[in-house]
Each structure stands twice: as C-alpha cells, then as structure tokens.
Structure 1
Amino acid sequence: MGEGTGGPGATTGEPPPEATRAGPVLNLTGGTLRSARPRPKTIALTFDDGPDPRWTPQILDVLRRHGAHATFFAIGANIARHPEIARRMIREGDEIGSHTYTHIDMGSAPAWRTRLELDLTQRALAGATGRSTGLLRQPYSATPSGLTGPQWKAAQAAAKRGYLTVLTDRDTEDWSRPGIDKIVQRAAGANGAGAIVMLHDAGGDRTETVRGVEAILTRLSARGYRFTTVSEAVGLPPGDAPASTGQKTIGKALIWGQRGSSWLVDGLTLLFGIAAVLTAIRLATLLIFARVHVGRVRRARVRRDRRPRPPYHPPVSVIVPAYNEEAGIAATIRSLLGTDYPAPVEVIVVDDGSSDRTPEIAASFAASAVRLIRKPNGGKPSALNLGVAHAHSDIVVLVDGDTVFQRDTIGNLVAPLIDPAIGAVSGNTKVANRGGIIGRWQHIEYVIGFNLDRRMFDVLQCMPTIPGAIGAFRRNALASVGGVSDETLAEDTDLTMAICRAGWRVVYEETALAWTEAPASIRQLWKQRYRWCYGTLQAMWKHRRSLVQGGRSGRFGRRCLPYLTVFQVALPLFAPAVDVFTLYGLFFLDPGKLLVSWLFFTLLQALAGAYALRLDGEPVRTLWVLPLQQVVYRQLMYLVVIQSMVTAVLGARLRWHTIRRTGTFATPDTPVTTP
C-alpha cells in the first residue's frame, strides 16, 4: 500500500508532516504510516452521511446508468433505519465504509464512545448486508493536510482495530450548494491525476449533488476518467468482507431494535406534540373562561348595586367532621365563632372516634354554642351525614377540621344561595402553610389549577368538586341525592357530581376564603393526592352514565367528564413518556429546540399563573418556584395518577389515608386573614 514513511507515533500528539503530505488512504497498522493514492485517470466518488431514503437511491440510479461504482461512508444508525438501501449498494457493486453510528467527532469523543460507535456500525452493516468493513472516514475530516491532532490520535486508535482511514483529495463542499459547475470543477483533477472526491448523500437538500454527480460522470468520462470504489482505485482488495454468523445475528437484532426505537421516538414525538397542544389549549381555555367569569361577577355586582335586594342572611349550620384533629380544631372553631355573619350560626363538631384530644378541645367550646357529637369511627361521610341530621338550619356549611375561615367567609359563601336554583356553593381554598417549597408548590397549584378550573366549571355549570374544606349546601339538595355517599374516597367530588346531575346549579364564590393546612412533607402529600386521585376516578366511573343522559345530568357529564379524563387522567398517564422523550432529545436530538419548547410552555404557565394570582389577590413573586415545580412536583403528581390507575385496574381497595397535622393554626393568636 504505497510507500512507508517510518513510525507515525509523534510524541507531540500532532500528525507528523509526512502524514499531512500523504495520500488520502492511511494505513497506520504495525506502527508504520503507509498511504495510497488513486491511480491516474481514476476517480473514487465517496458519499458521506447516508443512506438517505430520498437522495441515496437517486445517486445510485445515476451511478447505475453510467456503469460507475462508488464508496459510501454510511452512518450506522442510517444503515439500521434503511437496510434495503445498504443491500442495494452491495448488490450493485458499490462499497460501504464506516462513518460512525451517530456522526460523532472521533477526535473529541471519549475512547469508549468511539469504540461503541464503530462496533455498532459494524453490527448494523452485518445485519443489513452480511458484510463487514475495514474502511473508515471520520466525521468532520477532509484532506490529509487538514488533519488535526485529535483526528490523528483517533486514526491511530482505529488502526489498532483494523481500520484504514480514508480522507479525500478533493472536497466538493456540495453541502453548501455552490452550483453544479463548481461541484464538477472541484471534482476534476489536473493532468489526469486520480482522486478521491468527497460528496454527501444525506443531511439536507442534495438536489445539486445528484445533478452534480450526473455532470461529473458525463463530463469526466468523456475525458477518459473511470469511476470506481476507493479500494479498487488505490489497488487494494475490497474494503468489505463477509461477516460472521454471530455478527449477522447481532446486527439483525440491532436493526430491529433501531426500527423499534425509531417507531418509539416517532410515537413519543407525536405524544409530545399532542401534550403540548392540549396544554396550550387548556391554558388558553382556562384564561378565557376566567375572564368570562370575572365579567359575570362584575356585571352581577353592578346589577345588585342598581337594584338592591333585601339582605339574605338565613340561619346557618356549620358541620365540622373531626378525626384526630387536635392540632388545628381549636383554631377552626375559633374562626367560626368569630364570624361577622349577622344571623345565627350553629357550629356542630362531629368527632369520628378520635384517639387524641380532639373531643376534649371541642367540648371546651360548649359555652360558646358549639355542639359536640361523638360517634365511633365510621369515616367522614358518616360523620357529615350525622351532623346534617342534627343541624337545625336549611343552609349547611361543611368545613374540614384543619381549616380556618375569615370573618366574612360565611356571609360571602352563603350569599349566592339567594338564587333558589343554586343548590351548593364552592368557596376559595387557600394554602396557609406556604412557607416551604412544598407549601409554595401547593399554593400555586391551588390558585392556578383548582381555582381557575372552578371559574371555568362555574361558567359551564358543570362543577365537579366542592372542596371538603369549604362548601355551602341547601339541605334539600343534600336530601335529593341521599346525603354524602361513602362509595368513593372522594366524597366531596361524588357529592358535587350527584348534586349537579340532580338538576341543581353549583357555583364558585371566590370571595369566600378558607385557609387550610396542606401536607408539609412529600410522604403526606403523596397520601393525600393518592386518595384524591383514586377517589376522583371512582366518582367519574360512578357517574359515567351522565355522558349519555339528557337534561342537566347529560350536560354535566359531557362538559365535565371528558375534561377530567383528558387533563387529570390521560395527560398525566402519558407524562412519563413525554419526559423520557425530553431526556432522549437532550442527548440525541436538537437540545436547543427542546429547551426553547420547555421555556415557552413554562412562560405560558407563568403568564397564566400571574393572571390567576392577580385575580385571587395574591403576590406574583410566588411564581419563582414554578420552573422547579415543572421538574419535581409535576412528576410526583403524575406518578400519583399512575398508581391510582394501577390500583383501580387491579381492583384493589384503597383505605382512607389520614394526614398528620402540624398545627399551622395551633397558636391562639393565629390570624384568620391572609398569612
């Protein structure tokens, strides 16, 4: 193979001068640099980056018409994607060399990555064609004079694995689309010298390349040039050889794996797109309906100012179901007794078999018109039903034992019930313990997610949930659905859906504020959301017939249940796949596009969050935790959905999960205004 030039092992790591002046085919095996050049009047056309399903077949067609052969330095991943094209190359007498598996820069890649890339390319070639190759062209390399130190080291390492490094005499730079005449000019040599010519059959629009190859073959053939493979051009045996049976087997498995991963990536790309579109639609829809809701509220206030009605202050019974709520029950009762509501307020605490000091604390308020009912533990629905049965008023307010009302909350909550068509009212739940990162995440979720959703549901008259922390009900509405059911773990959602289906309107009153203690640890948060999610799935399944019914029940089902199915079940179920695709894209696709997409949707959520916070009178500075919420909290929530779905599919019975209270309102002087 050409002439020897001595040892190539330059101690400086840079290619020796003789290498930069050598022929384009380098053999570095055995510690001696040997090189070769094409014979006179012989041109080896070489094509990098393929095979490509659009351009490579066109180039092969041109070669076949002219009876010419070429060498294709193929990317292993493309061979695996399009093995039929690689087989055609071999069948028509062309030659295939390695161009790594994913077009890495061998000069900067770690040694293990380079070995992996070369081995995978060999496996793909063996699986596609039954051949192996000893030819290698490093990505980003060109002529010998342009060899860099890292490329020289990579060529030395490849030689130890049996590869000949193939560079080029003439780089047409066809990738820049310089024009057909320029491509031909750069490919043609002077004085009849042979050459290895670099072109590309993938990586962009190769229309000029295809036409340029046609022109090269036509014009230079007329001048006596012949066109063949690199190996034949320099007088070497063919650069490929039969692969072993093991190589073929592994190669075929690799090809099928590559195809499967390609289908998977295509599917994940589609899911990513669908998720992005649905997320954008949801945000836009929530903002539109929030705006409509604000407009309705303002117009209603104007009408009330123009045509004032007699005050609506019916007697109210407040039911507080309590199980082991000693940390906060005193603050809850104290806030209810401190209301400025002008009509009588009856406070009934139903102790559901607590094992702590909850009943003793509640009993200490007996002198303040608080009634304590004690019963064996039977669950929250039974406690609520017992409290309603003992209530004296037609308007019943249900309050959790970890919730604190403001002085005007009861009045604001009851006010919409002046309309006899309204059967229940949802208040505005606020997170009180928002000092830590978990509390801030939940605060954002409550304001952006829950309360924006409730504004939309109010406008569409399909409210799915009145939170257990704060809700007002007509006794008639409760009676019409048989009271609070214990058939699901989300009794508040089940009850609200039943009331809507029974023909009552359920509305949202943003000014009726209730401060609640949210879970303070990941474990407690998981327990709570697992119960909520599983219970919501149960309620959706229980009320599924509303999808096909008529009247108010049908309108509720067709407006509410599809929304919950898509955004609270389907999207969280597919979210892990979207995240896997994102991680995959950061390493193997264009990370810039993914980063821009992520920043765009985070910005959209931030804008929606800012609007929601402004509507609720909350400071916008809380949004600083939103980006972190997207990469930690969101994953936790969709894992909760996945576990809930698995539990539902397996038919397991989830028991009630109690949340350990930390006593956010335990101090007697705790304010019942904005923390």
Structure 2
Amino acid sequence: MTDAPDASPSPTGHGHGGGGGGKPIFLDATGRRARRLRWAAIAVAAVAAVVLASFVASLVILPRLTHLAVVSPAYSGHVKHGGRHAGNALLHRIALDDRRNRAKPVSAAGTIAGAWFAPWEDGALDSFRHHAADLTHVYPTWLELSPDGSGVLTKDYDPAKNPTTAPLVQAARANGVRIVPVVGNATEGLFDPHRIDRMLDGPNGEAVMNQLVGFVDQHDFAGLQIDFEQLTPEQIRRVVPWLSRLHQRLSAQGKELSIALEVSLSDADIRSLAATVDYAAVMAYDEHGETSVPGPISSAGFVDRSLDRFTRLVPANKLILGVGVYGYDWKVGTEAADSITNTAALTTAQGYRPEEAPAEVIDFDPVALQPTFSYRDDAGRMHEVWFQDAASVANAMTMAQGRGLRGASLWALGEEDPTSWKVFGKHAVPAPQADAAMRTVTLAQAIAFTGEGELLTVTHEPRAGQRTLERDPSSGLITDESWSAWPSAWTIRRRGAPDHVLALTFDDGPDPEWTPKILDILKAKRVKATFFMIGDEAVGHPDLVRRVQAEGHEIGNHSFTHPNMAHVGDERVRLELTAADRALESLTGRQITLFRPPYNADSEPDSYGEIAPIAVASRLGYSTAGESIDPNDWDLTRSTPGGGTHRLRPQEIVASVLAQADKGHAILLHDAGGDRSATVAALPAIIDGLRARGYALTTIGGLVGQTPEQTMPTLPKDEQSLIAADQAAFGFTHLLGVILFWGFSLAIGLGLCRIVLMLGLASGKRARPLPAAGSALPRLDVMVAAYNEVEVINRTIDSLLTSRDVDVRVLVIDDGSTDGTYEAVKAAFGQDPRVLLRRKPNGGKASALNVALAEATAPVVVGVDADTQLSPDALAKLAAWFADPRVGAVAGNVKVGNRRNIVTRWQALEYITSQNVDRRALARLNAVTVVPGAIGGWRTEVLRAVGGYRSDTLAEDMDLTWRVREAGWVIANEPEALAFTEAPDTLGGLLKQRFRWSFGTLQCLWKHRRSVGKHGWFGALALPSLWLFQIAGQVLAPLIDLQLLIALVIRLLSWWAAAQHADISASPDTTLWLTVAIYATFTMLELAASWIAYGFDRENRRDLWLLPTQRLVYRQIMYVVVWRALERALTGLGQAWGKLRRTGDVVLEAGNDTAGHLAGRAGLVIQIFPRDRPRDDAPSNPRRPPEEDPC
C-alpha cells in the first residue's frame, strides 16, 4: 500500500478545483431571508388566527337549541295490587312439593336448558350469541306444515332468506348446543288444525315424514320438536301413530323427538302424545293472552297447577317446563293486547310515568308473583301491562326443580330480562347468590320505543337499574320485588302522528339544477316542505338556502359531508352536526333544530350504529326526523319482470308514495345527489294524489303543531356576531375541498403518467457496451472517500480487490476520521500495493474525492461509497462501456444490502421499483439524472475537464452527472454491475439521508435551471420530470392519501383543538367511494409496475407485499422531507452533510440471504478472499462482445 502524507483539497496539476464550487446553492449567510419569511409567516398566522378564532368558538361550542314542545300525558288512575298474604297457601304447598321431590334423580339423558328461537324477534340472535354457553338445546321455529298438508315449508330456515340462520348454527356448533328445529301448524302465529287432517289423508303423511327426517339428517341437527296446537281429540288420536313412526325413524338415526304441549289438553291427550316422544315441553304460559282480559302471563299458581297435573300423567324426568319471558300490554276496556319484551315493558313504564319513583310504578303482585303496572298513553287511553322478569323465571325454575323435571326452556330468546341467565341455564347460581346477582339490571343491548310518529328523540341511554328481592324461606319463591332505580335501554320517544297529515321532505340539497324546480312546484301548489340540507352543499349554494327560507319552508340538518353516520363514531357525528349547523345558521340567521341522518333515517332504528347518531343529536338538542314513506327515488334503475332493467319513471315514484301513504307520516324525496328529473316530474302528481285521498301536507314541525318560525328560532344575539366569521371560514373550507379533490386528481394523473412513461422506456431492449479494441479492459482507479467508516471500510476494500477481469487500484481518502478508520485500513492493507491511503483534514465528501481524482492515473475512475460492497464482476461490467469513446460515465445498480428490518426493506423496494427503473428508462434517451455515488464509473479526463466534484450542493454525484451530460457526453447504465450498500436502518437515519438527497436535488435543479429544454432529452424530459415528480409531485402526492383517508382525518381532528376543525371539508360519500376506486386502481397499477420492476432486476418478489405499508407510512416520511427541503431553500439557512451511523451489516459471503441471494439471481458468484491469501495483481479475461450500440 502506498501511504501518502496528509493531503489538502487544494487544486492539483490536473486542472480541477479541489472540492470547489463556490457558495452553497440557496445559502443566505446573513440570515435576512429567513427573518423576512419568519415575520411574513407570523403576520399571516396572526390574521388567520383572528379570522379563525370566532369560527372555532362557534364550532366547538355545542349548539344551544330550542327543543320542540313535548306534551307528556298526565298520568292518573293506575291500579296498585294489594293482598300481600293472599298466596300463603300456594307457598306452603310448593314448599311441601319441594321437600317431597328434592331427592328425585335427574334423567340419565341429562338436564335440558333450552330456549326457543323465533327468527322474527329482533334481539333473538344477539341473545343466543351471548348466552349459547348457558344452553344445552335451542329450538328454532323454522319449519311449517304447508296449508295443504302435503309438505313442510322451510322459508324461515332458508339461509338465503333468513340472515339469522347461519350465525345461529355457527354459534350453536361452537358452543355444543343441540339444534332441534320446531315444526308447527301455524302461519304468523295463527294455528290451523285442519292441516293435520290434510297431512294424514292419503300419502301426505309419509311424504311429510320423509321430508322432516331428511331435513334433520341433511343438516345434522339433533332432532325435531312438534308444535301442533289447537287440535281436537280426534285429530290427536289420528296423529299419535304418525308421531310414533316419526319417533322410531329419528331414534334409529340417533336423533331426538320432543313435543310442545298446551296446558289445556285433556289428561288422555297429554298421556298419549307424551308417550310418542322422548320428552315433552309444558307450555305453562299465556295464562292470559292477546285476546283475553288483562292478567298474569303465568302466575305462580298457574305454573304450580300445570306441573302438578302433568307430573301425575307423565314421568317428571320426561318433562321440561316452558317458561314465558315476555309480557302483554292491554288497552283497558278492550280484549286486545300487544306482546312486548321485558325491556319494552320497563322502558314503557318509565317513559310514561317519568316523574314517579320506580317502586311506585312497578307492582309485584303477591298472588301471581309477577310484575305489573298501568299507564295512560299519548291519546289518553289507559293500559295495563303484565310481564315476566328474572324473578318470574327464578320462581318457575324453583317449582320445576322441586318436582324433578328434566329441565326447562325459555320462550323466547331476545325477550327476556337479562338477569334471568343468573337463575337459568347450565351456569345458574344458587338462590342466595342469584338474588344478589339479580339486583343490578342492565339493558344495554336493547332498543325500546315509546309513542308513535316521525320525530325521534332519545330519552334514555343504557344505565343499570337496581331492585331488591324477598324470598320465602320455606318455598324458596321470590315473593316481593322493589325497584329503587330504573334500568335504561336505548329508549326512543316518537312523536308526530296526526291522522291523515303527511310531511313532504327533501334530502341532499341544495342543488342548482333541481332545487329551484322543486321550489317552483311547491309555490304553485301552495305546499310547504322540509329541506334537509348538506352543509357543504349549502355553503356552495347560499342563494338557494336563502330562497328556501324566504318562501316559508323548513330547513333541517343533514350533516356537513353526508357520511354514513352508523359507521363513523360519535365524535365524527358531533362534528358533522355542529359544522352543518353553523354553516346553515350563518346563511339563515336561524337556529336549526331538525336533523335527519344520511342513509339511515328509519323511524325504528334497530342497531347501535343507527341509534348512535340520534343519541348524539338528542344530546345536542335536535329532534331527529324519520321517513316511513320512501319511494327510493335516489335509485334510478328499476328491475323488470323479465329480469331486465329500466330507467326510473315518474309514475313509479307517484305509485310508490300513494301506496305507502298509510304507513307513516313523512315522505322522503331527494332534490340533489344525481339526476332528479323523475322526482321533479312526479312531484305535482304526488301532491294532487295525496290531496285527493284526503291527506293534508305539512312540514316535519307541522306534524307536532310547530311552524317553521318555531322549529327555526332566531339566533341569540351573542351568536349573531359570529355569522360573518362563520361565512368566511365555511367559504374557505369549501374552496379547500375543491382544491383537495382536484389536487388529488392531478396527483393521480401525474403518477399514472410516470408509471406508463418509465415502464415503457425501461421495458425496451437495453443497450450493451461496444467491444473493446483489445482483449483487456481499461485499468481502473477506484475512489473511496471515508469519514468515520471503521465498521465497514475494510470489507468494502476487500470486495474491490476481489473484482474479476479487471486491473484495480483502490484510492482511499480518509477525510479527517476520528474513529480509527485510517489506522484500520493501514493495518489491514499496509502491504498491498493496490491500495493507496491518504489522510486529509475534514472537508466533506467532494473534497475527499477530488483528492483521489488528483491521484488517479487510470483512464477510468470509479466512485464507490465506503459502506458499499461490489459483486466480483461489477467493475468489469462498468469498464466495458468505456470502449465507446462517446461514453463519459456509467451508472451501476445499487442494492440495499442490509435488509434486516422494515425500514431497510422499504428502501430496497424503492431502489428496485423507482431508482433503478428510472435509470433503465432514461438511459435509453441519454438522460440519466444521477450516476450513484455508491457505484459509478467516470472517464478520468472528462471528470477533470468539467471541474471534478463540487461542494455547492449536497448531491455532488447528481451535480457532476449533469455537468458531464451538459458537456455532451453519453451517460450509460449497467444494471448488472451490482453494488450492495448499507441503507439507514432507523427512521431517524432515513430522514437525515433523504433530506440531504431532496435538498441536494432541489439545489441541482436550481443550479442547472437554464438547462431545461436543452441537451436533448436530458433537458427536454429528465429535468422537467424531476421538477414535476420529485418536487411538484411530492408536494401533491400527500393529497392522494389524504383524500382516501379523509374520513379518518376528520375524526382524528375532532379529537384535537377545534381550530383544526375548520380546515376540513370532505367530499360526499359518492365522491369518496369514487376516490377509493381511483386510488385502488392506481395502487394496483403501481403493484403491477413493481412486479415488472422486480423482473428487470431478477429479484425475489417476496417483499412486494410491503408496497401498501410503504404507501401509507414510508412515503409520508418522504413528503415531510420534501417540504423540509423547500422550507430550507426558501429560508436560505445552511445545511450540513450529516453523518449516518454504520453497522457493518452488509457482508457478502456464501449463503448470505441478502446480498448473496441477490447476486446469485443475477448469475454472479460472491466470494471474499482472506486477507492473507495471495491476490493476482493483473487479472484478465476476454470481454463479452457487445450486442448493440449503447445509445
């Protein structure tokens, strides 16, 4: 090794400046430019703060709305049941039965804890999912004997028609619950005993039996339950043999057969029917029913008498008790009742008697041992309610167990008191613990309604209730129950249901094309309507908002951006409501008290997602409008009977509205959101048709007797001062939304153009080097600048000295290292004449490379980074290009050699899919924009002629490449000259490196700005592309991700300070979905392009799955870097090079899974010779003949 004395970056005899180049581009050493920009930014921020402050105040201060008047009916005349000691005889008898039967064994078949599943019950599936682990059996009412008795109807089972079937089966299987479908002789609750006669006549009986057995076998269910009700003794006599044969066939397959028995059956019928099955369910409920006088559902005496009778007729271990868990609400004076759930009973009680303590409302009847209450409805009618709760279930279980029954089953899932599961099922707890567990009642999963009409208000949200229980020690029965706090479910109060009065409403406007036409029709017909407006649309069309108001119509809030509020969360809902409210108030000067959620405006929401927006609106003081009459005028495509489609016709809208007129009180139409010509054409006929049928038309407020002046009261004086600021701020957000959308479109367009252009060029047959005049390749001097590279420098030199087919000398310039780099190289290569080591004071990479250039004697020099290792034939492949006298430089192919974490793998993905593809493409046009510092070959005389490396930019290799190209030289690309570099392995290191690259690129673009349009494709395409894609594209690129994630951004911003709320305006959902589709298409194209790029480099494509994460995370980092570079360029502040930490992770050895695999894919062999192994100082090999002209 030649160990030269310390060197300085002074000019050499070769005529090039040592690290020169003058003042760094953009530097303002005085700092004046930065100070001016800072003061300008402060001034702009101050003005913006003043403008936004008042808007922020109006946006975050919750609206103080004037609620619509609510008239609560006065309560009077409720009945309090007396006679606390009337049931003593019953308790005594039950106590005796319990002692008599306590020792009776349970059937060997095991205790049954079952529940009936009615598909029509809204909460049935949720109840089963929550409590499947408590059950042994589930009895879904899926099967129905056909009216003609010839077969079995399975429509209630059909998974294609019944969305609860598949989840029920899945949950049952997962919890080991036996599925026993019920087959009945009823349609929608009406039993038809004549179906049994039709079934038993002729061959129908066998056909039905075959179908039933086949159904059970096909679906691997546990058996069947028969529910044939209201049969005559003769019909029972005829059906018993049929049941016996069915039992035999099912038993032969290991299936069970049970039957549900009415308590009204005769003793003989009970015996004969029970004898045909494995067990029977005693339906000890409906003591009083829908068509009877008010009374208990299943009083303790009724249950006791039923069990006493049945256990005398049938062995107890062959019986299970059917336990009702529902209730009935009777209108006093009529024999008509509505079936209600336990939750509905409790919410009705507190909804209609809110001022009374719960202990004064709910009466636990001492004889029936069942809760009851009464109330007066909105129309003044008295109601009496009896219902079952956990105490009723506990008492029923006590009586069943006292008589040794095999088990019990609840009718029906979804109707029960949630605490019933403390005393029922496989995990029921003993009485003392059960009483404590039943004290707290939670109804969180339920939704209940009170009243009727289209105006909805959440009056109660889920809250636990409290009650105390008293238990008779001798019988074990609960004899008293007292409520101290109401349990609350989601409770919605409905109002606005006057007879023959309908509200005409329009959603999604205002729209400049359709809204004026609708207003003209309403004016001509003298009809007032309610317009639920989108805040963003209102801001864009303020004149239409004012016209709607001026013509006496009502205005409601329809959110600011029209999201599906069932899916966005409470914070987003609140922000949407408040923003739209402020926008509409700023245009009307009136408070907005009405709200209709986009997409879900049903008058009976049945899920938390649908009720949550109503709850938020209720907290803010809004009344939510439903829409029971919906002709779906938004859907412009209709199906024809033949399977085709046609465009929506006005007469179809008219017919739909008229057909639904008696189903509700609010008509939903649309005045925006698409082509509304059919709606406009239908509107006159709708108005005329409804009036002809005796309906009056009004606004939503009119349904509760309110005028638009009452539903839209004047703003308080303290809020009127904010109107001007609100108008300015919302105008800005609307403009921002437009810019955001078109910026997104432009960014997508630029990205697509770049993909098509670069892949098109790169896919062509690449140029090959010309054959050399002689057999030997030119001698090479490899220049390595090193500053604190002790961890990696010796491996780099090793890889260079093991290069094949070329004569190499390595020039190592230590740039003032303080970590022993110089000493390490000297110790390892001090005796190797192919290594020249020099040391100089620290002056930067450019100055170090210029020192190496001054020492170079070979016709070709190669720049290699100190952390980079080359494949053995990389230098030979570079050198081959210099046989062409037009070639001034050659770019190699840089690979990430330390792919050990996601940060480095992201960079590897970028190198392959972006940098290397770009060089392949631009090389075809002699427009390569950078010969990488990690591996780049240069004609020595050209390098000196253009002035060597300069330090006025941080991208000295890019600057040098451009100067060589501007001097008229060809710059080639050699993708098979592989260099494995150490990429930053932390986000901090990556940010530091990429800021230097971005700032250096910006410096070069500014320095060489006069070359745009010159020097062939270099100035005509390459430089403009850098301005477009590297600068403008990177500035716009965040808009792609921002537009896609806009809903998330708004929701996150809603958690921040309110000042940031003003900067967001999302597109309507249709635009958002279009954005998603465009973005997805772009991402798929990018993935396809990356697949092709990996093929160019013959890389393993296993890392392509990282592309989505790179888009969402890694590229955001790049956006920040570009913005920082622009800020530094504008301010003129100085920027140092920045030293990256080295780990020495790049090791090229046999079997190395990173570099070795990559090199192997390229057909190369990687070896590292031990340092004490003799090396051939003059390797040579004939070069491969060139295939084509390189340019």
Q: Scaled by the length of structure 1, what TM-score is found?
A: 0.86
**CA gap 1:623/1:249 in 2 versus in 1, 3 angstroms:** same
User: Aligned partners of 1:562, 1:211: CA distance in 2, in Å?
Assistant: 53
Kindly report which structure 2 residues correspond to 1:335-414, keeping only aligned pairs within 5 A, or say none: 335-342=799-806, 344-364=807-827, 365-369=829-833, 370-414=835-879
Kindly report which structure 2 residues correspond to 1:123-272, keeping only aligned pairs within 5 A, or say none: 123-137=582-596, 167=626, 170-176=629-635, 179-185=649-655, 187=657, 197-217=667-687, 228-229=698-699, 235-238=705-708, 239-272=711-744
**CA gap 1:447/1:163 in 2 versus in 1, 3 angstroms:** closer
Kindly report which structure 2 residues correspond to 1:399-548, keeping only aligned pairs within 5 A, or say none: 399-547=864-1012
8 Å CA contact 1:81, 1:255 repeated in 2: no
Shift of 1:91: 1.4
**CA gap 1:12/1:466 in 2 versus in 1, 3 angstroms:** farther
> Larger deviation: 421-430 or 179-188?
179-188
Shift of 1:337: 1.8
- Is 1:290 aligned to residue 754 of structure 2? no
Name the counterpart of 2:1133. Answer: 652
**CA gap 1:127/1:561 in 2 versus in 1, 3 angstroms:** same
> Larger deviation: 459-468 or 183-192?
183-192
Name the counterpart of 2:530. Answer: 71
**CA gap 1:324/1:240 in 2 versus in 1, 3 angstroms:** closer
Name the counterpart of 1:317. Answer: 781
Shift of 1:624: 2.5
8 Å CA contact 2:629, 2:663 repeated in 1: no
Which residue identity is paired with 1:313?
L
- Is 1:560 aligned to residue 1022 of structure 2? yes
Shift of 1:453: 0.9
User: Aligned partners of 1:143, 1:599: CA distance in 2, in Å?
Assistant: 32
**What 5-or-longer segments of structure 2 have no aligned partner?**
1-68, 76-328, 330-342, 353-376, 379-448, 461-490, 637-647, 1051-1065, 1159-1191
What SS is found at the alignment partner of 1:632? helix
Could you say what the CA RMSD is over the residues aligned between the two structures, in angstroms? 3.9
What SS is found at the alignment partner of 1:507? strand
- Is 1:608 aligned to residue 1089 of structure 2? yes
Which residue identity is paired with 1:214?
P
> Larger deviation: 600-609 or 270-279?
600-609
Q: Scaled by the length of structure 2, what TM-score is found?
A: 0.51
Shift of 1:420: 0.4
User: Aligned partners of 1:374, 1:28: CA distance in 2, in Å?
Assistant: 80
1:89 to 548, 560, 567: 548
2:518 to 55, 59, 65: 59
Deviations along 1:213-267, whole A, 9 cap, x unmatched? 1223456668887755455676544433222233344455444433322221221
Deviations along 1:309-350, whole A, 9 cap, x unmatched? 6324122222222221111111122222222234x4222212
8 Å CA contact 2:889, 2:938 repeated in 1: yes
**CA gap 1:329/1:381 in 2 versus in 1, 3 angstroms:** same
Deviations along 1:124-152, whole A, 9 cap, x unmatched? 332212223445556567786x5758788
> Larger deviation: 96-105 or 528-537?
96-105
Shift of 1:495: 0.7
User: Aligned partners of 1:194, 1:328: CA distance in 2, in Å?
Assistant: 79
**CA gap 1:585/1:278 in 2 versus in 1, 3 angstroms:** farther
User: Aligned partners of 1:190, 1:271: CA distance in 2, in Å?
Assistant: 45
**CA gap 1:435/1:122 in 2 versus in 1, 3 angstroms:** closer
- Is 1:576 aligned to residue 1038 of structure 2? yes
What SS is found at the alignment partner of 2:509? coil
Shift of 1:192: 13
8 Å CA contact 2:565, 2:573 repeated in 1: yes
User: Aligned partners of 1:611, 1:68: CA distance in 2, in Å?
Assistant: 64
Shift of 1:617: 2.3
| Sequence identity (%) | 39
User: Aligned partners of 2:595, 2:790: CA distance in 1, in Å?
Assistant: 75
**CA gap 1:44/1:417 in 2 versus in 1, 3 angstroms:** same
8 Å CA contact 2:996, 2:1137 repeated in 1: yes
Deviations along 1:523-557, whole A, 9 cap, x unmatched? 222222221221121122111111255xxx36422
Name the counterpart of 1:621. Answer: 1102
User: Aligned partners of 1:425, 1:34: CA distance in 2, in Å?
Assistant: 78
Which protein is richer in helix relative to its size? 1
**What 5-or-longer segments of structure 1 have no aligned partner?**
none
Deviations along 1:626-662, whole A, 9 cap, x unmatched? 2211111111122111111111111111112112211
User: Aligned partners of 2:622, 2:898: CA distance in 1, in Å?
Assistant: 66
Deviations along 1:27-47, whole A, 9 cap, x unmatched? 99999979555577x764332
Shift of 1:291: 1.3
> Larger deviation: 487-496 or 61-70?
61-70
What SS is found at the alignment partner of 2:880? helix
**CA gap 1:611/1:65 in 2 versus in 1, 3 angstroms:** same
Name the counterpart of 1:639. Answer: 1120
**CA gap 1:494/1:20 in 2 versus in 1, 3 angstroms:** same
Which residue identity is paired with 1:125?
L
User: Aligned partners of 1:632, 1:73: CA distance in 2, in Å?
Assistant: 39
What SS is found at the alignment partner of 2:1024? helix
8 Å CA contact 2:633, 2:670 repeated in 1: yes
8 Å CA contact 1:80, 1:254 repeated in 2: no
**CA gap 1:55/1:409 in 2 versus in 1, 3 angstroms:** same
**CA gap 1:29/1:610 in 2 versus in 1, 3 angstroms:** closer
User: Aligned partners of 1:440, 1:600: CA distance in 2, in Å?
Assistant: 24
User: Aligned partners of 2:495, 2:695: CA distance in 1, in Å?
Assistant: 22
Deviations along 1:571-598, whole A, 9 cap, x unmatched? 1122334333222145655465454444
8 Å CA contact 1:83, 1:129 repeated in 2: no
User: Aligned partners of 1:108, 1:402: CA distance in 2, in Å?
Assistant: 51
Deviations along 1:46-66, whole A, 9 cap, x unmatched? 323332332211100112233
What SS is found at the alignment partner of 1:346? strand
> Larger deviation: 135-144 or 506-515?
135-144
Shift of 1:387: 1.5
Deviations along 1:427-450, whole A, 9 cap, x unmatched? 111211112212211111112111
**CA gap 1:20/1:171 in 2 versus in 1, 3 angstroms:** farther
User: Aligned partners of 2:820, 2:998: CA distance in 1, in Å?
Assistant: 30
**CA gap 1:331/1:129 in 2 versus in 1, 3 angstroms:** same
Shift of 1:120: 4.4
8 Å CA contact 1:425, 1:509 repeated in 2: yes
Which residue identity is paired with 2:528?
H
Which residue identity is paired with 2:805?
Y
**CA gap 1:20/1:558 in 2 versus in 1, 3 angstroms:** same
Which residue identity is paired with 2:1120?
L
